Chains A and B, each alone.
Chain A
Amino acid sequence: MQCEQFEQILEQQDDGTLPKPALAHLETCEACRALSADIYAIHDLGLELGAVGTEPPERVWISLRNQLEAEHLILGQPSVRRTEIKGGRGWWTALQRPAIAGAFLGLVLAAVSAIGYLSNFAPTAVQSELTVQQEVSAVPTADSVFKEEVLTVGSDSIPGLQRQDTAVTDSLRRNLQIVDNFIALCEKSVREQPDNRMAREYLYGAYQQKAELLATATNRSMPGGLQ
Chain B
Amino acid sequence: MNGFSSPARVGALAAVMAGFIVAASPAQADRVEKHFAVQNKPKITVRNSSGRIQVKAWSKNEVLVAWTNKSGKSVVETEEAGNRVEVATRQDEDGLTAEDSKTDFEITVPVESELNVRTDSGNVTVDSVHGDMTFDTVGANLQLSDVNGYLVVKTIDGSLVCNRCSGKLEANSISGNVSMVDPALESVRVQTSSGNIYFDGSFQSRGIYIMKNFSGTIEVHFSSNDSFDVNATSLKGDVINQASFKPDTHGNAHPASKWGHSLFGTMNEGHAKVELSSFSGTIKILKRD
CB distance from A201 to the nearest CB of B (A): 9
State which residues 176-227 of A face B: CB under 8 Å: 178-179, 182, 185-186, 189, 193, 196, 198-199, 202, 205-206, 209, 213, 216, 220, 226-227
Residues on A with C-beta less than 8 A from B233 are 198
A144 CB-CB contact with B under 8 Å: no
A13 CB-CB contact with B under 8 Å: no
Residues on B with C-beta less than 8 A from A171 are 121, 138-139, 156-157
Residues on B with C-beta less than 8 A from A152 are none
How many B residues face the partner with a CB closer than 8 A?
A: 35
Measured CB to CB, the nearest residue on chain B to A226 is B47
Residues on B with C-beta less than 8 A from A179 are 174, 193
Contact residue among A174, A196, A227 (Cβ-Cβ distance under 8 Å from B259): A196
State which residues 72-110 of B face A: CB under 8 Å: 88-89, 91, 94-96, 98, 101
B120 CB-CB contact with A under 8 Å: yes
A167 CB-CB contact with B under 8 Å: yes
Measured CB to CB, the nearest residue on chain A to B121 is A167
B194 CB-CB contact with A under 8 Å: yes
Known: A165-B49, A186-B279. A178 touches B98 (CB 8 A): no
Docked-complex contact A213 and B156, CB < 8 angstroms:
yes
Give A148 to B175 CA distance when docked, in angstroms: 21
Give A168 to B257 CA distance when docked, in angstroms: 41
Docked-complex contact B259 and A193, CB < 8 angstroms:
yes
Known: A182-B214, A202-B235. A162 touches B157 (CB 8 A): no
Docked-complex contact A165 and B101, CB < 8 angstroms:
yes
State which residues 4-58 of A face B: CB under 8 Å: none
Residues on A with C-beta less than 8 A from B88 are 226-227
Give the size category of A's interface with B.
Answer: 20 to 34
Interface centre among B88, B120, B259 (most CB of A within 10 A): B120
Known: A171-B139, A196-B259, A198-B233. A213 touches B174 (CB 8 A): yes
Give A16 to B277 CA distance when docked, in angstroms: 41
Residues on B with C-beta less than 8 A from A174 are 157, 175
Docked-complex contact A178 and B138, CB < 8 angstroms:
no
CB distance from B51 to the nearest CB of A (A): 11
Residues on A with C-beta less than 8 A from B138 are 168, 171-172, 216, 220
Measured CB to CB, the nearest residue on chain A to B280 is A185
Residues on A with C-beta less than 8 A from B277 are 198
A63 CB-CB contact with B under 8 Å: no
Docked-complex contact B98 and A166, CB < 8 angstroms:
yes
Docked-complex contact A209 and B193, CB < 8 angstroms:
yes
* Chain A residues in the interface with B (C-beta under 8 A): 162-163, 165-168, 171-172, 174-175, 178-179, 182, 185-186, 189, 193, 196, 198-199, 202, 205-206, 209, 213, 216, 220, 226-227
CB<8 Å pairs between A and B, sample of 30: A162-B94, A162-B95, A163-B95, A165-B98, A165-B101, A165-B121, A167-B98, A167-B139, A168-B138, A168-B139, A171-B121, A171-B138, A172-B156, A174-B157, A174-B175, A179-B193, A182-B194, A182-B214, A198-B235, A202-B279, A205-B191, A206-B214, A209-B193, A220-B138, A226-B47, A226-B89, A226-B118, A226-B119, A226-B120, A227-B88
Nearest first, the 3 closest Cβ-Cβ pairs linking A and B are A165-B98, A175-B174, A171-B139
Give me 7 other A-B pairs in contact (C-beta within 8 A), A196-B235, A198-B235 excluded: A171-B138, A171-B156, A182-B214, A182-B215, A182-B279, A198-B259, A198-B277
